[in-house]
Amino acid sequence: MINPGDRVQWIYAADNKEELQARYDQWAAEYDRDLDDEFGYVAPARAADAFARFLSTDAIVLDAGAGTGLAGVELAKRGFAVIDAIDLSQGMLDEAAAKGVYRTLRQVDLTERAPIDDDTYDGCLCVGTLTHGHVPASAIDELVRVVKPGGLFVYTLRRDIIESHGFGAKHAELEAAGKVRLLERGDPFQGLPKGEPDLVYNIWAFRVL
């Protein structure tokens, strides 16, 4: 059994997406408790606050990389009522379903083209998923594609991988192509203040054009 405090690094050590999926499936039942008790996970609430500043609560929302639904719960607390969830791990989605905040839940690999039509959502929120060892910067193209013009894309990102993992370049590419406009790069914060206090995050908010 993996020590709860070591599970984040155990997840990042997965060699491929099949192993990553299996590890998240295995962790799913204890995920919420571990993230709260061991890490003091605050990113879902911080991201939902940013999301709610830029989008009305009658929006149709995609929670991409929803996991066990922590961000969906935070969105629901802020008044959003139509939220769909996608994630690589069916075990995590099963936990998310039990929270009762999602309209639909689908197992989707965000490193591939999503089975979602263009311009489907008013907004997309992605918390803790676009990062090293998980989903690369190239996936932002897909998440922007499924958002309607005038809609919102918000995601969390570790500051230390913005340039090294191509996120800064992806932002610049999409802005130069006229696909998004930066609304806000939020103030830096500790996303996991108890367990990994040295990791600092920003919340990025873009208007889709």
Q: What pTM was estimated for this model as a whole?
A: 0.94
Cβ burial 126-141 (10 Å sphere, 16+ → b, else e):
bbbbbbeebbbbebbe
Tell me the C-alpha distance between 76 and 52, whole Å. 10
Q: Which of 201, 76, 193 is nearest to 127 (CA)?
A: 201
Determine the Cα–Cα distance for residues 205 and 114; give it in Å rounded to an integer. Answer: 21
Residue from 105, 170, 109 nearest 144 by CA: 170
Residue 101 — very low, low, confident or very high, per pLDDT cuts 50/70/90? very high
User: For 159-198, how does the pLDDT look when each residue is reduced to its tens digit (9 = 90+)?
Assistant: 999 999 999 999 999 999 999 999 999 999 999 999 899 9
> What is the chain's percent helix, strand, coil content, to nearest 5?
40, 25, 35
Distance CA 136, CA 128 (A): 12
Q: Is the pLDDT of residue 122 over 60?
A: yes
